[in-house]
Amino acid sequence: MAGGAKPELLVVCHTAPFLLADLEKEYTLHNLFLAEDREALLAEVGDRIRGILAGGMQGPDAALINRLPKLEIIASNSVGFDATDVAAANARGVPVTHTPDVLTDDVADLGMAFIIMAPRRIAESERFLRAGKWPQGRMDLGTNVRGKKLGILGLGRVGSALAKRAQGFGLDIGFYDIVPKNDTPYRVYSSLLEMAANSDILFVSCQGGESTRKLVSAEVLDALGPKGFLVNVARGTIVDQDALVAAVCEKRIAGAAVDVFEDEPNAPEELFAVENIIMTPHIASSTGETRRAMADLVLENLRLHFAGKPLKTPVRL
């Protein structure tokens, strides 16, 4: 870098303090995510920005990408990259990187926990006890998962890892994926609607973005039916949230467990007092080990780029 000057990066997402501290050792950071006056910041530093730090839920759109004349790389601190306009970046010749693989196990672990918790009513039972209701009588019965049909929407990294876990709990596994999958031991469905109609538990693990927006529709939820459970650890946009609220509140499905929402960090308040849904604040990859591994991939990709070397984990559309 000329004269020893640090490359200047624009931060457009919520970022862990330890990753910011590591980045500041090698780069000059400008935090657009926390800026009180975003326009003033962009007017001041936009012409000098060489890289963007993005996230799974906050990333640059085409307008921001095209506003930065010296932009060279976008590093997303997430496996999903639907918040970043990758097509606009590619049109500019700007590579986008992400952090695949390192968070697969944590996300699959939470998914498997949800698959057990929702039918067994574990979260509900914990609230029942804390509310002092046990002395008044026992809770209604839950449902076991052995032999139940699990339909996986998206047999990618997380879906495949989840399927291996589910086998150990005796679930009957099928999947639907727009990308053909060969040599899998699982039942293959020709449509999402067919899979929902034949599943006791529908597990959402496909990629987010416009191509999958509201893919799990009211029709899909009705096909899942009053004995079925929905589990979503992927993206909130994949499920029609209004339809989910209605289906849960009206008990047109048996219950749900969701870690992601359409408009994060906002979750639908209509569900706060509803017992047959488990909601967590997008914690699937929230372990110290995984977040450190994700940060390390971000750092490695940036270092490789500015050293003129091939990137470790570029997004490939």
Catalytic (active-site) positions: 235, 264, 282
Could you give the CA distance from residue 303 to residue 72 in angstroms, rounded to a whole number? 12
